[in-house]
Amino acid sequence: MKVIICIGSCCHLKGARQVVKKLQFLINENGLTDLVELGGTPCRGKCQYDVCVTVDDKFYSVSPETAEQFFCENILSKLNRP
């Protein structure tokens, strides 16, 4: 599973670093580092959303506050982990 987080100008100001840190922590804590490749991207222009995140090319808008819920719904559950 490939998870890409935008670290461009607007997403940075919307809390991209906090989203990165949260997802890194949750992936590590759940033992998923071998299954989830976490990477960054410069701005691709979807600046009207929160922090832009893709999971296997599917787009999501994620804030630092919703990062954990996003992780559970779109990473953990898709890897069939309880």
Among 31, 34, 45, 57, binds other proteins (CB under 8 A): 45
- Strand, helix or coil for residue 42: coil
Does position 26 interact with other proteins (CB under 8 A)? The reply is no
Does position 66 interact with other proteins (CB under 8 A)? The reply is no
Do β-strands 37-41 and 2-6 pair in parallel, antiparallel, or remain unpaired?
A: parallel
Does position 8 interact with other proteins (CB under 8 A)? The reply is yes
- Shortest approach of other proteins to residue 77 CB, angstroms? 23
Q: How many CB atoms lie within 10 A of CB 70?
A: 24
**CA distance linking residue 9 with residue 2, whole number of Å:** 22
- Contacts with other proteins, residue ranges (CB under 8 A): 5, 7-10, 12-13, 16-17, 20, 24, 38-45, 47
